[in-house]
Amino acid sequence: MTQHREQKESVDELMRLIASLKDEDQCRAFFEDLCTAQELIQFAQRLQVAKGLLAGETYDAIRRRIPVSSVTITRVNTALQFGTGGYRAALSGEKSEKKD
């Protein structure tokens, strides 16, 4: 098995595991074990950036509110524009449709 395929299978397993968590408490416990505190903060900040961009906020307004770089905002904006729809689905409470 190639390294790429093994990595994909590992990521797929992780996604299935996350989807199987039954509630917010289980999710919190899992992510607090899996990630560092700083990684969780960065994930939360990216989500807040996405919310701001979807609400029409400018980069400057977002940077005044959230301590992130313009590179992070650009990365999130690129995902919103050209990604798989994950941010939008998560923020709207819907399951995202997988793009092929």
For the whole model, what pTM was predicted? 0.83
Q: What is the pLDDT along the chain (100 residues), one digit of tens a residue?
A: 688 999 999 999 999 999 999 999 999 999 999 999 999 999 999 999 999 999 999 999 999 999 999 999 999 999 999 999 999 999 997 554 444 4
Burial of 100 (0-12, 13-18, 19+ CB in 10 A): exposed
38: left (phi over 0), alpha (psi -120 to 50) or beta: alpha
- Look at the domain 35-100 and name its fold: Trp Operon Repressor; Chain A (1.10.1270)
Residue ranges of domains in the chain: 1-34, 35-100
Q: What are phi and psi of 28, to 5 degrees?
A: -60, -50
